[in-house]
């Protein structure tokens, strides 16, 4: 990128004159390939920004009418400029803390898994909890880890490391002792305590059983949360993400909301955040809204999220048919009747409601529940189904009516595609991660990451949606390739559709005068990329409210 200032002499620009009556811009981006995100709009060349808002989108000559003596001119040399990415589904503090924790997602053997935990534990103070991890047993053949693997290496540190999908975790013996878990502990409803053939607990816990251990893990301090947030915010900006929707853990309470509000009040937040709280706590959220309003355009609240089921990888997604590789149809993390009652009460209290559903049966239940609650006002509610992964054809048609939002995370198709067929069989995968079918049916589909379950990187999500190659390299032409979508459709799902899903379409999601100057500059155009060039595209600049919050080092 080349920087110019009118005061220093506009060496490559035709005019520094400010047209009569035009508002002077603080910065003008010219010579760009501008994708505005406005449906049917042609590409533009320039964007002018005054303060935190866009004042002009169009050609270079038109933009220069907004130039004053102090205006900064940024020549992008043909780089791709688009609305900043919005991520519809993150567990932001979990991901932020995980950035400084033990990395296990790419551990490809039992020995590597154990070695990394041992090395990390040796660097930590005695008594400190070791969390994070994001392991994936499929990468070493499918055997679930056992506490016996790591006990010898972690005698002084309780360990609770999550599977990458967040629906299973491994605890070492010390952590189990702290939680009071033993061989006689009964399995809670909505969860599973994994046992071996002799009835010994292995340390692996699923879904609601995870809460038994999580209840004894000390809450981080305000200082630790602030430090973690800054790491996560920097990670988001490096990937062109200008807003996230933050989703709670089932038993998370209002801790995330309280922590984010403090960060915002302390002036530590530049990333825009729409924070959800657990659906079970809807009454507390409603009271918080009554006392504090709904926040501002940087931090907003007043939304709740529930869980029906678990995940495909942990075999806890709620299905009609049994899993091909396990004698189960999954589970419900909450009694469906209770979940529906909470959703109805939360909606009546004026809260925005979304529910996690992965299995076919779970999705059908949520769609029916939302339809009953919404009635004739269903469209205005903007109810969301988080994940909407495994669908019946009837569910796809119901999403196609356009009243309920399919809030999906495309990277899961590339990741779960490695093992989905052995979980649910060749017929069921035809309508799983059904991006093309949903759009063709007329559904409103939005995109995100599920970070830290998947990378906080929209470009890998766009890649997965466009080309559907699995991460193991075994599907170079795409897994269920009939579900591929275009680059423009993927960009829309990461921008304008997400703005709508968060009730901010009048302020974000497209590049138009009057909207916030939330912008990403990329080294290439995803809409014209192929299977190879998509992976060469990088983020060059991220802008939030007119301020550059990330700029890539292009010195090399």
Round to whole Å and give the CA distance between 544 and 507. 12
Using the Cα atoms of residue 285, residue 286, residue 291 and residue 294 in order, give the sign of their dihedral: positive
Average pLDDT, integer, range 167-177: 96
Q: What is the pLDDT of residue 250?
A: 78
> For 454-504, what is each residue's pLDDT tens digit?
999 999 999 999 999 999 999 999 999 999 999 999 999 999 999 999 999
For residue 328, give Cα distances in angstroms to 308, 335, 423, 431, 476. Answer: 16, 17, 11, 20, 32
Identify whether the C-beta of residue 17 lies closer than 8 Å to the C-beta of residue 67.
yes
Round to whole Å and give the CA distance between 153 and 10. 63
Average pLDDT, integer, range 118-143: 93
Q: What is the pLDDT of residue 22?
A: 56
Identify whether the C-beta of residue 363 lies closer than 8 Å to the C-beta of residue 332.
no
> Which of 15-19, 49-53, 244-248, 363-367 is the least confident region?
15-19
Q: Taking the complete model, does pTM exceed 0.85, yes or no?
A: yes
Q: What is the pLDDT of residue 462?
A: 98
- Domains along the chain? 2-84+515-551 (2.30.40.10), 94-214 (3.10.310.70)
CB atoms within 10 A of CB 410: 27
Task: Let me know if 122 is exposed, middle or buried by CB neighbors in 10 A (0-12, 13-18, 19+).
Answer: exposed
Secondary element (H or E) of residue 291: helix 282-292
Q: What is the pLDDT of residue 1?
A: 41
Q: What is the pLDDT of residue 252?
A: 75
Average pLDDT, integer, range 176-182: 96
> Which of 253-262, 322-331, 373-382 is the least confident region?
253-262
Q: pLDDT at residue 11 above 50?
A: no
Token look-up 């709280």 returns 277
Q: pLDDT at residue 228 above 60?
A: yes
Q: pLDDT at residue 394 above 80?
A: yes
Round to whole Å and give the CA distance between 309 and 339. 11
Q: What is the pLDDT of residue 556?
A: 53
Round to whole Å and give the CA distance between 478 and 270. 37
Q: pLDDT at residue 10 above 60?
A: no
Q: pLDDT at residue 27 above 80?
A: yes
More confident residue, 83 or 12: 83
Token look-up 């529930």 returns 306
Q: pLDDT at residue 253 above 50?
A: yes
Q: pLDDT at residue 21 above 80?
A: no
Q: pLDDT at residue 551 above 80?
A: yes
What are the structure tokens assigned to 290, written together? 């009554």
Q: What is the pLDDT of residue 105?
A: 87
Average pLDDT, integer, range 174-198: 95
Average pLDDT, integer, range 255-280: 96
CB atoms within 10 A of CB 127: 9
Average pLDDT, integer, range 108-137: 94
- Report whether the peptide linkage leading into residue 179 is cis, meaning its omega lies within 30 degrees of zero: no
Q: What is the pLDDT of residue 8?
A: 34
Do the bridges between strand 445-447 and strand 405-408 make them parallel or antiparallel, or are there none, so unpaired?
parallel
Range 489-520 burial, b when 16+ CB lie within 10 A, else e: bbbbbbbbbbbbbbebeebbbbbbeebbbbbb
Q: For 80-237, list the strands marked E by DSSP.
A: 80-83, 85-90, 102-103, 130-135, 159-163, 168-171, 191-195, 201-207
Round to whole Å and give the CA distance between 374 and 157. 49
Do the bridges between strand 168-171 and strand 159-163 make them parallel or antiparallel, or are there none, so unpaired?
antiparallel
Q: pLDDT at residue 119 above 60?
A: yes
Our CA dihedral for 425, 426, 428, 429, rounded to 10 degrees, sits at 110
Average pLDDT, integer, range 130-153: 94
What are the structure tokens assigned to 554, written together? 């292009």
What is the overall mean pLDDT for the chain? Answer: 94
Q: pLDDT at residue 383 above 90?
A: yes
Q: What is the pLDDT of residue 6?
A: 40
Q: What is the pLDDT of residue 396?
A: 98
Task: Let me know if 142 is exposed, middle or buried by CB neighbors in 10 A (0-12, 13-18, 19+).
Answer: exposed
Q: Sheet of 201-207: strands edge to edge? A: 102-103, 130-135, 159-163, 168-171, 201-207, 191-195
Q: pLDDT at residue 320 above 70?
A: yes
Round to whole Å and give the CA distance between 319 and 424. 9
Average pLDDT, integer, range 417-442: 97
Round to whole Å and give the CA distance between 453 and 135. 10
Q: Report, in this order, helix, strand and coil percent for the chain, each rounded to 5.
A: 35, 20, 40
Q: pLDDT at residue 553 above 90?
A: no
């Amino acid at each position: 990128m080349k920087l110019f200032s009118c005061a220093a002499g506009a060496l490559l620009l035709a005019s520094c004159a400010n047209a009569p009556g035009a508002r002077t811009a603080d910065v003008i981006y010219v010579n760009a390939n501008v994708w505005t995100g406005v449906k049917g709009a042609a590409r533009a060349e320039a964007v002018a920004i005054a303060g935190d808002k866009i004042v002009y989108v169009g050609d270079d000559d038109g933009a220069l009418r907004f130039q004053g003596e102090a205006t900064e001119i940024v020549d992008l040399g043909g780089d791709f400029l688009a609305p900043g990415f919005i991520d519809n589904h993150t567990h932001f503090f979990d991901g932020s803390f995980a950035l400084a924790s033990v990395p296990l997602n790419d551990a490809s053997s039992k020995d590597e898994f154990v070695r990394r935990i041992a090395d990390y534990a040796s660097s930590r103070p005695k008594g400190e909890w070791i969390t994070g991890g994001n392991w994936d047993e499929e990468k070493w053949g499918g055997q679930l880890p056992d506490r016996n693997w790591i006990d010898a290496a972690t005698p002084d540190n309780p360990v609770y490391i999550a599977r990458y999908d967040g629906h299973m975790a491994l605890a070492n013996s010390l952590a189990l002792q702290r939680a009071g878990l033993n061989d006689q502990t009964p399995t809670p409803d909505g969860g599973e305590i994994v046992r071996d053939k002799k009835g010994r607990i292995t340390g692996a816990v699923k879904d609601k059983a995870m809460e038994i251990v999580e209840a004894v893990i000390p809450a981080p301090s305000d200082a630790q949360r602030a430090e973690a947030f800054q790491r996560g915010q920097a990670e988001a900006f490096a990937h062109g993400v200008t807003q996230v929707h933050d989703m709670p853990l089932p038993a998370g309470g209002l801790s995330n909301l309280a922590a984010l509000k403090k960060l915002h009040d302390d002036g530590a937040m530049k990333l825009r955040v729409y924070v959800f709280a657990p659906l079970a706590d809807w009454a507390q959220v409603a009271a918080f809204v009554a006392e504090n309003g709904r926040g501002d355009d940087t931090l907003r609240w007043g939304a709740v999220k529930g869980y029906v089921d678990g995940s495909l990888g942990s075999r806890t997604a709620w299905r009609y048919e049994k899993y091909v590789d396990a004698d189960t149809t999954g589970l419900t993390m909450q009694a469906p009747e209770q979940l529906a009652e909470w959703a109805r009460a939360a909606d009546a209290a004026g809260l925005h409601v979304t529910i996690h559903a992965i299995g076919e049966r779970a999705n059908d239940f949520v769609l029916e529940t939302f339809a009953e609650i919404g009635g004739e006002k269903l469209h205005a509610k903007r109810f969301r189904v988080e994940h909407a992964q495994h669908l019946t054809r009837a569910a796809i048609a119901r999403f196609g009516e356009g009243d309920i939002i399919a809030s999906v995370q495309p990277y899961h198709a590339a990741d779960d595609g490695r093992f989905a067929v052995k979980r649910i069989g060749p017929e069921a995968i035809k309508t799983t991660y059904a991006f093309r079918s949903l759009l063709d049916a007329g559904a409103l589909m939005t995109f995100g990451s599920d970070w830290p379950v998947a990378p906080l990187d929209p470009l890998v999500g766009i890649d997965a949606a466009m080309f559907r190659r699995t991460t193991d390299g075994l599907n170079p032409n795409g897994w269920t390739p009939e579900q591929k979508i275009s680059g423009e459709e993927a960009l829309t799902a990461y921008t304008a559709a997400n703005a709508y899903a968060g009730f901010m379409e009048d302020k974000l999601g497209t590049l138009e005068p009057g909207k916030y100057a939330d912008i990403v500059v990329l080294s290439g155009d995803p809409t014209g990329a192929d299977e190879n060039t998509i992976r060469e595209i990088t983020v060059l600049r991220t802008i939030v409210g007119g301020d550059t919050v990330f700029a890539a080092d292009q010195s090399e």
